[in-house]
């Protein structure tokens, strides 16, 4: 399998289209014959990241590199940034408004889930500038 | 437990079901979508009262075996369309979550 690069625009505040990028990546990985367990991990981690961009950042860009040994996902937005990353990583911590909770999101489990389902995760965030989340899922 | 037996045991309305012979194993109850993605095993029955279109995305990505809307909650039109369009198994039962779980042997 040769390296494959995919890019997606994620629209802000649109919960109908949210998840379409992760869905597309999932389909591609399945088509490439990637291990189903790894496919599920990539799909869930990327969906959580997409939802975060939709809720908090007015959208952003997702880029995915698929190699023989790993899938690398980079989610970049120009949203408000995360003032305290270690606090944001805590299970149950959320700044999502009640309207978002009514949709089933905002449980404060998005970032912890992204960490849980990936082998590497790095958050680079500057308040007022934006956030870039890089995640890697190893393929064995 | 086969999907057709789950439907019978719950006296459920079928919104979308592709393979009634499909085996469902294990379960998860909850409405916060990130908890579902964190805990629900692939191929399980997901019991929820959440009925919007995000349920379809989570059910598909988490690969749950069947989504069971409890308390007679009807899916909204977008969820219905997505479930049918993506071939997701989605059923509705009048039973509350606790009663629905008790009625099944998962």
Least Cα distance to A42 among A15, A65, A73 occurs for A73
Q: What is the mean pLDDT of chain B?
A: 97
Q: Which of B31, B57, B63 sits opposite A19 (nearest CB)?
A: B57
Q: Region A95-123: what's the mean pLDDT?
A: 94
Indicate the CATH number of B3-102 among 3.40.50.10860, 3.40.1390.20, 3.40.50.1580, 3.50.50.60: 3.40.1390.20
**CATH code (residue A82):** 3.30.565.10
**Closest CA–CA distance from residue B84 to any residue of chain A (Å):** 16
Alpha carbons A11 and A18: distance in angstroms, whole number = 7
- Please state the domain count of chain A: 1
B66-69 and B45-48 beta bridge pairing: parallel
Query: Which residues lie across from A120 on neighbouring strands?
Result: A136
The residue of chain A with its CA nearest to that of B48 is A104
Which residues, in sequence order, are bridge partners of residue B29?
B47
* Residues whose CB is less than 8 angstroms from the CB of residue B104 and which lie 6 or more positions away in sequence, other chains included: B1, B6, B9, B10, B27, B45
Q: Which pLDDT band holds residue A140 (cuts at 50, 70, 90)?
A: confident
Q: Which of B38, B50, B57 sits opposite A109 (nearest CB)?
A: B38
Of A116, A133, A129, A114, which Cα lies nearest the Cα of A61?
A133
pLDDT digits (tens, 9 = 90+) for B77-96: 999 999 999 999 999 999 99
Q: Which domain holds residue A27?
A: 4-138
Cα distance between residue A40 and residue A20, in whole Å: 15
pLDDT tens readout for residues A12-61: 988 888 889 999 999 999 999 999 999 999 999 999 999 999 999 999 99
Half-sphere exposure of A86 (CA within 13 A, CB side): 0
């Amino acid at each position: 399998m040769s390296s494959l690069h995919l890019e997606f625009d994620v629209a802000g505040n649109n919960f109908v289209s949210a998840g379409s990028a992760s869905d597309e990546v999932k389909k591609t990985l399945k088509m490439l014959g990637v291990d189903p367990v790894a496919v599920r991990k990539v799909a869930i981690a990327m969906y959580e990241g997409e939802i975060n961009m939709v809720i908090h950042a007015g959208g952003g860009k997702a880029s995915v590199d698929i190699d023989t040994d790993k899938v690398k996902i980079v989610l970049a937005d120009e949203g408000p940034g995360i003032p305290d990353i270690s606090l944001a990583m805590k299970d149950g911590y959320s700044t999502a408004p009640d309207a978002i909770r009514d949709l089933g999101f905002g449980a404060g489990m998005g970032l912890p889930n992204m960490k849980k389902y990936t082998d590497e995760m790095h958050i680079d965030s500057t308040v007022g500038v934006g956030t870039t989340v890089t995640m890697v899922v190893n393929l064995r | 437990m086969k999907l057709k037996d789950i439907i019978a045991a719950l006296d459920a309305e079928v919104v979308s079901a592709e393979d009634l012979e499909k085996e469902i194993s294990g379960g998860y109850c909850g409405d916060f979508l990130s908890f579902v993605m964190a805990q629900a095993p692939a191929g399980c029955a997901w019991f929820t009262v959440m009925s919007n279109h995000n349920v379809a995305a989570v059910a598909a990505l988490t690969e749950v075996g069947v989504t069971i809307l409890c308390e007679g909650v009807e899916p909204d039109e977008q969820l219905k369309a997505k479930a049918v369009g993506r071939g997701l198994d989605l059923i509705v039962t009048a039973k509350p979550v606790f009663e629905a779980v008790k009625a099944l042997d998962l």
